[in-house]
Every structure is written in structure tokens, then in C-alpha cells.
């Protein structure tokens, strides 16, 4: 009895989640999934405990979250946002994004998405009846080609998705690139939906610039973000969408029918999180920067082609050297079996037949220093005298002696 909807039939389980199962079975060190293995900040956990004990456990909308988010957008991007009308609290950025797509996409609408991209955007757009149209970022620096972008627009284009800082590459879109995007969005009268969950995780004194802060963009942009990555509480499901009032209202109406409310005690705890002092963000950034440097150096040393250093997010997108004949999936499987370390094959992030789609591996470094050190040690065990991985030298599987 085949009763699935046609959309559900077309979907496959998340490749990232499947690899996690294999890793668990092999007891592997998980550098695949994008969540920390270190503890969440104490002041935020305490706020959640206090909220539960103070009976903040029924359906809620905590307006204070909107007030703080609006304040932060003013501080970071000099944007003026009305906390009463422009912000919708959702169950994580996941739901904010889904609600935004459902709010604006009709059947047949085209949505431009940059390639590579986080796996969820594609299926969310299709679930709403939309058609994703991919514009490839050019390796090795993942630059945006404005000409390619322009060519992707048609009169069916309704929206564009922008994720910056970017998963999986770690790219932070430059001001010039954002301007090029804003010009073409304005010319074609298209909406932008941004995913800015890594907004506070940028390196080398680089700032995250929000697309909506560019001239003419606030009135046509939906910003989505959350507590998860910034405050290391990916399991709490508190996020938000920021949009001009009429679109925010549409998103709110969808959200209420999808889930009705984000978890109440964590909304309350969000206030403590959003009130964190500037020192919190400084430490967050510098801690992640040193983790980035460690893993980047390791990957260079063992022979990956490392041209582009992550500018933001906690991912590094490493390219397999030419001498490696394994595909990304084969390499990841070998790494699990031989080194007990798991990463994500890049193929799942590409949507097209690009020549590079099987050559990249995504490593997450949102892990404790102990974990990263242990992973480095295990990977180094597979290296030859010159420090490079045996797999890379011989282009084939290591043969046990």
C-alpha cells in the first residue's frame, strides 16, 4: 500500500545522519555532525533550570527575545528592526527557514541556491512546491561569479537563499559579493532568505555582513538564525525569522500552524543567552579560531589540498589531492575504518555534475580540544614518513602487512 506523498517518496534520509550511525557503530570520533561535544555555557543552562522551576512551562511567546535580537541587529549591522512586528520566534532556524519558504513559495516558483549548500534547503523548497535553481560558487576560493548569478534568474524566480558564513565551505560572502547579489535581487524584484546561524563565528577579524543591511534589501529579505551555534545549545530549538512586517506576519501564521510555539523554558533561557557580554563572543571566536588553525594545519600536513582557509562557521572543506583515486565517500569510509574518525563526504552538498563534487570532505571542528587532539593523533597514525596519508601517496587502500 503505497501511500506516501510524491514529495516524501523523492526524499532520502539525511546522509549526514546516516554517517553518524556508522560512526557510532565503530565508536568513531565524530567530526561530521555540526554540534559541539563540549558543555553549553553555564549561565545559559542555569537560566533554563530556573525557567523550568519558575513554571515557565506553558505555551509562550517571550517578547524579550525579539527585543534583544532587534538590539543586536542594530549593534552589528545598524539595521532598524521593530521587535513587535518584524520578528517571529521559531523552533530553531530549521523551522524559521521552513516557515519562511512556505510563506513565500508557490508551486512552480524558482528559488536560487548557491552550490555547494546545506542539504535541507533543497528539500524544504521542494516540499513547498518550489524549484531549486543552483548557481555554483567557483572553487578553490568559492567566489561568486555575478554573471553566472544573473543568468540564473528567470521570470519564475521568486527568491534566493543565502547562507553566510557558509556551510560547508566556511566562506564569508564579501561586501562586493553581497552588493552584486542585492543589485540582481532588486532588478528582478526577488526576495532573499538568509541563513545566518554562524553569524558570530568569523575569523581573522573578518565581520559577518548581513545582506539585509545593504541599501534596498531590508524590505525584501527574510533573515533566519538561532541560538544553536552561537550558544552551543543545538538541542534547544530556539530560533527566529526577521522580515518586513507583512512577511513576518505570514511567517508567524505558518509557524503557529506548524508547531504553535518554541519550547517555553528555552525561550526564557534565551534571554540570558542574548544578554551575554561582548567578552562571551570574543572568547567564542578566539576559541573556534584556534581550533580552526589546528585542524587546518593538520589537514595541510597530511596531504589535503588546502587552498582556502575557513573565514567563518566551524567547518573546513578539504580537497582530496590528485594522487588520491578514492571518491569522497570511499575516503570517508576508509577514514572511519582505518582511523576511527568520521567526516562528511562533500557530494551531498553539491547539486549538479560539477567535476569537483566528489573531491571534498567536510570536517567539523566544533569539538573539544581533547577530541580534536585525539582525532589528529589517529589521523597521523595513517601517515607515512613525510607526514602525508598513505592513502594519498598510493592512490589506493592501505594493504595490511
Partner 1 sequence: MAENDSTKNSVAPTLQVAKRLEKFKTTIFTQMSSLAIKHSAINLGQGSPNFDGPDFVKEAAIQAIRDGKNQYAPGCGVPDLNLAVAERFKKDTGLVVDPEKEVTVTSGCTQAIAATMLGLVNPGDEVIVFAPFYDSYEATLSMAGAVTKSITLRPPSFSAPIDELRSLVSKTTRAILLNTPHNPTGKMFTREELDAIASICIEHDVLVFSDEVYDKFAFEMDHISIASLPGMYERTVTLNSLGKTFSLTGWKIGWAIAPPQLTWGVRQAHSFLTFATATPLQHAAAAALLAPDSYFEELRRDYLAKKSILVEGLQSVGFKVFPSSGTYFVVVDHTPFGQENDVAFCEYLIKEVGVVAIPTSVFYLNPEEGKNLVRFTFCKDEQTLRNAVERMKEKLIVNTH
Please pick, from the candidates 233, 306, 339, 361, the single residue that binds partner 1 as defined by CB under 8 A. 233
Binding segment for partner 1 (CB under 8 A), chosen from 40-48, 169-177, 316-324, 380-388, is 40-48
User: Rounded distance, CA 106 to CA 152, Å?
Assistant: 19
Q: Is 127 in the site for partner 1 (CB under 8 A)?
A: yes
DSSP 157-175: EEEEEEESSPTTT-----H
Q: Is 313 in the site for partner 1 (CB under 8 A)?
A: no
Q: Is 213 in the site for partner 1 (CB under 8 A)?
A: yes
From the CB of 337, what's the least distance to partner 1, in Å?
Answer: 23
- Please list every residue from 234 through 263 that binds partner 1, using CB under 8 A: 234-237, 246-247, 249-250, 253-254, 256-263
Calculate the alpha carbon distances from 163 to 49, 196, 396 in Å: 33, 6, 36
Q: Is 43 in the site for partner 1 (CB under 8 A)?
A: no
Per DSSP, the three-state class of 209 is: coil
Please pick, from the candidates 171, 200, 208, 220, the single residue that binds partner 1 as defined by CB under 8 A. 220
**Which strands form 131-136's sheet, in the order they lie side by side?**
87-90, 239-242, 221-226, 191-195, 157-163, 110-115, 131-136
User: Rounded distance, CA 74 to CA 54, Å?
Assistant: 31
Binding segment for partner 1 (CB under 8 A), chosen from 72-80, 160-168, 292-300, 303-311, is 72-80
The torsion angle over the Cα atoms of residues 211, 214, 220 and 225, rounded to 10 degrees, is 30
From the CB of 265, what's the least distance to partner 1, in Å?
Answer: 7
Whether the CA torsion 242, 256, 12, 316 is positive or negative: it is positive
Q: Is 7 in the site for partner 1 (CB under 8 A)?
A: yes
- Please list every residue from 291 through 310 that binds partner 1, using CB under 8 A: none
From the CB of 369, what's the least distance to partner 1, in Å?
Answer: 17
Please pick, from the candidates 27, 39, 399, 400, the single residue that binds partner 1 as defined by CB under 8 A. 39
Binding mask 172-191 for partner 1 (x = CB under 8 A): --------------x--x-x
The number of beta carbons lying within 10 Å of the beta carbon of residue 192 is 21
Binding segment for partner 1 (CB under 8 A), chosen from 75-83, 143-151, 295-303, 317-325, is 75-83
Calculate the alpha carbon distances from 214 to 77, 78, 166, 211, 288 in Å: 9, 10, 19, 6, 28
Please pick, from the candidates 6, 27, 205, 401, the single residue that binds partner 1 as defined by CB under 8 A. 6
Please pick, from the candidates 27, 59, 278, 353, the single residue that binds partner 1 as defined by CB under 8 A. 59
**What is the DSSP pairing of strand 239-242 with strand 221-226?**
antiparallel
User: Rounded distance, CA 318 to CA 19, Å?
Assistant: 18
The count of chain residues that interact with partner 1, using the rule CB under 8 A, is 85
Looking at the Cβ atoms of 28 and 250, the one nearer to partner 1 is: 250
Looking at the Cβ atoms of 174 and 186, the one nearer to partner 1 is: 186
Q: Please answer whether residues 247 and 103 qualify as being in contact, where contact means their C-beta atoms are separated by less than 8 angstroms.
A: yes
Looking at the Cβ atoms of 17 and 323, the one nearer to partner 1 is: 17
Q: Is 75 in the site for partner 1 (CB under 8 A)?
A: no
Looking at the Cβ atoms of 252 and 305, the one nearer to partner 1 is: 252
The number of beta carbons lying within 10 Å of the beta carbon of residue 83 is 17
From the CB of 273, what's the least distance to partner 1, in Å?
Answer: 12
Tally the residues of the chain.
401
User: Rounded distance, CA 157 to CA 17, Å?
Assistant: 31
From the CB of 279, what's the least distance to partner 1, in Å?
Answer: 21
Binding segment for partner 1 (CB under 8 A), chosen from 214-222, 272-280, 289-297, 383-391, is 214-222
- Please list every residue from 150 through 169 that binds partner 1, using CB under 8 A: 158
From the CB of 376, what's the least distance to partner 1, in Å?
Answer: 22
The number of beta carbons lying within 10 Å of the beta carbon of residue 40 is 18
**Angle subtended at Cα 142 by Cα 138 and Cα 143, rounded to the nearest 5 degrees:** 75
Q: Is 2 in the site for partner 1 (CB under 8 A)?
A: yes
Q: Is 56 in the site for partner 1 (CB under 8 A)?
A: yes
Amino acid at each position: 500500500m503505497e501511500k506516501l506523498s510524491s514529495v516524501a517518496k523523492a526524499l532520502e534520509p539525511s546522509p549526514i545522519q546516516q554517517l553518524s550511525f556508522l560512526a557510532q557503530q565503530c565508536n568513531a570520533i565524530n567530526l561530521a555532525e555540526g554540534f559541539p561535544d563540549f558543555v553549553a555555557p553555564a549561565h545559559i543552562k542555569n537560566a533554563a533550570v530556573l525557567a523550568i522551576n519558575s513554571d515557565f512551562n506553558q505555551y509562550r511567546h517571550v517578547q524579550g527575545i525579539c527585543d534583544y535580537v532587534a538590539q543586536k541587529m542594530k549593534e552589528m549591522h545598524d539595521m532598524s528592526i521593530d521587535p513587535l512586528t518584524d520578528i517571529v520566534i521559531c523552533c530553531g532556524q530549521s523551522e524559521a527557514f521552513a516557515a519562511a519558504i512556505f510563506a513565500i513559495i508557490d508551486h512552480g516558483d524558482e528559488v536560487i541556491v548557491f552550490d555547494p549548500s546545506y542539504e535541507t534547503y533543497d528539500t524544504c523548497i521542494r516540499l513547498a512546491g518550489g524549484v531549486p535553481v543552483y548557481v555554483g560558487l567557483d572553487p578553490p576560493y568559492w567566489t561568486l561569479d555575478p554573471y553566472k548569478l544573473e543568468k540564473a534568474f528567470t521570470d519564475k524566480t521568486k527568491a534566493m537563499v543565502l547562507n553566510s558564513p557558509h556551510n560547508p565551505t566556511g566562506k564569508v560572502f564579501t561586501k562586493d559579493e553581497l552588493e552584486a547579489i542585492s543589485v540582481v535581487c532588486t532588478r528582478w524584484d526577488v526576495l532573499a532568505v538568509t541563513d545566518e546561524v554562524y553569524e558570530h563565528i568569523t575569523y581573522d577579524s573578518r565581520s559577518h555582513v548581513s545582506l539585509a543591511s545593504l541599501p534596498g534589501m531590508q524590505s525584501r529579505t527574510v533573515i533566519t538564525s538561532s541560538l544553536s551555534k552561537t550558544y552551543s545549545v543545538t538541542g534547544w530549538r530556539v530560533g527566529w525569522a526577521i522580515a518586513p512586517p507583512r512577511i513576518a506576519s505570514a511567517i508567524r501564521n505558518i509557524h503557529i500552524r506548524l508547531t504553535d510555539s518554541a519550547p517555553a523554558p528555552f525561550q526564557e533561557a534565551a534571554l540570558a543567552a542574548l544578554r551575554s557580554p561582548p567578552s562571551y563572543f570574543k572568547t567564542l571566536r578566539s576559541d573556534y579560531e584556534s581550533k580552526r588553525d589546528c585542524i587546518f594545519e593538520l589537514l595541510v600536513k597530511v596531504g589535503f589540498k588546502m587552498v582556502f582557509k575557513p573565514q567563518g562557521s566551524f567547518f573546513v572543506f578539504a580537497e582530496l589531492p590528485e594522487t588520491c583515486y578514492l571518491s569522497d565517500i570511499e575516503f570517508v569510509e576508509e577514514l572511519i575504518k582505518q582511523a576511527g574518525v568520521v567526516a562528511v563526504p562533500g557530494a551531498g552538498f553539491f547539486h549538479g555534475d560539477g567535476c569537483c563534487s566528489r573531491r571534498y570532505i567536510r570536517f567539523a571542528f566544533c569539538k573539544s580540544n581533547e577530541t580534536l587532539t585525539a582525532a589528529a593523533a589517529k589521523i597521523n597514525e595513517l601517515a607515512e614518513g613525510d607526514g602525508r596519508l598513505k592513502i594519498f601517496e598510493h592512490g589506493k587502500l592501505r594493504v595490511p602487512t
